[in-house]
Amino acid sequence: MQTRILGRNGLAVSALGLGCMGMSWSYGPPKDKEEMIVLLRAAVERGVTFFDTAEVYGPYDNERLLGEALAPFRGEVVIATKFGWAPAPGDGARWNALNSRPEHIKQVVEGSLARLKVDALDLYYQHRVDPQVPIEDVAGAVKDLVTAGKVKHFGLSEASADTVRRAHAVHPVAALQSEYSLWWREPEAEILPALEELGIGFVPFSPLGKGFLTGKIDAATTFGSDDFRSTVPRFNAEHRDANLALVQVVTRFAAQHDATPGQIALAWLLAKRPWIVPIPGTTKLQRLEENIGGARIDLGEEAIAELEAASSQVRVEGARYPSFHEKLVAR
């Protein structure tokens, strides 16, 4: 797979990464650990060098999984993890508690290093902007960790363009990780121009629309209460029918290009900017291989324009997050 560069300090990663959240958290029960170890190693064998986790995924189990699975590939792969969105000890229900106080970051980095079994974190993102802590203080804390050799690169997630600028002025931001896909194009307005100007990479999460853009979710699909999508308005029965019109557009376009809808969703993102690195998540080898195939599709300008013209005819209905979570993004 081709390599892309995130940020001006040259963090080199495979053009597509692997999102690992669903292996332990958020999309139903945690998957079998041994099977996920096999999958993670299969991804490395197929050229994936960029893996995405977070302290809160599990919580903690996902970092442990990656630490074990990727131990044989130290120095060959880049593991990104995140701080600032951990549950209070013994209180898994309060997983939405934010904490980016500098002393907290300097404490929890030790846990991530131990679970990932590394001397330094390749890329350390703030998971959500903490309104209680000035972003300059957060960037200052990560800068101290870089100086101490515990972190290599700094990232942010779901931060506004203004917050990214302020953080970047204190310590170079290598990448912003936020939602971006054919059904959430908001980052095109302010985020992408700001990142271009500052030389910061962009890592779209949920690049397959949490699975929706692959065409494998239809009106009959149900989500259990342990699946985050059961709380997301745009997946509600009320909105899903209308939103399936977008999937039909992508599916028709995919057929014309001898590809699957998911591959088109990924190829579209890759074509938008050379410093964009999507991190599709899957727990299945066949789908991993299908997704990797998306990186081999080179959509030209004409095809991109055609896809965007057709997809923008569909009015996507429903919020991308439940209301409590909406307040945590774009700050």
Write out the residues near ligand NAP by the rule CB under 6 A: 19-22, 27, 52, 127, 157-158, 177, 205-211, 214, 216, 262, 279-284, 287, 290-291
- Helix and strand element counts for the chain (H, E): 11, 9
130: left (phi over 0), alpha (psi -120 to 50) or beta: beta
* Residue bearing tokens 């397959």: 208
The question of whether 57 is a catalytic residue gets the answer: yes
Catalytic residue among 27, 57, 124, 125: 57
Identity of the residue, 7 or 262, whose beta carbon is nearer to ligand NAP in the bound complex: 262
Is the bond leading into 59 cis (omega within 30 degrees of zero)? Answer: yes
Identity of the residue, 19 or 187, whose beta carbon is nearer to ligand NAP in the bound complex: 19
Q: Output the CA–CA distances (angstroms, integers) from residue 117 to 33, 293, 320, in the order listed.
A: 17, 31, 34
Question: Element (H or E) spanning 246, and its range?
Answer: helix 237-256
Tallying the residues shown for the chain, one arrives at 331
Residue 27 CB, nearest distance to ligand NAP (Å)?
Answer: 5
Residue 157 CB, nearest distance to ligand NAP (Å)?
Answer: 4
Identity of the residue, 27 or 103, whose beta carbon is nearer to ligand NAP in the bound complex: 27
- Residue 158's φ and ψ, nearest 5 degrees, are 55, 35
Identity of the residue, 25 or 275, whose beta carbon is nearer to ligand NAP in the bound complex: 25
- On whether the CB atoms of residues 227 and 28 are closer than 8 A, the answer is yes
Residue 148: CB partners within 8 Å, gap ≥ 6?
Answer: none
Residue 20 CB, nearest distance to ligand NAP (Å)?
Answer: 5
Residue 211 CB, nearest distance to ligand NAP (Å)?
Answer: 3
Residue 267 CB, nearest distance to ligand NAP (Å)?
Answer: 13
For the annotated catalytic residues, the residue numbers are: 57
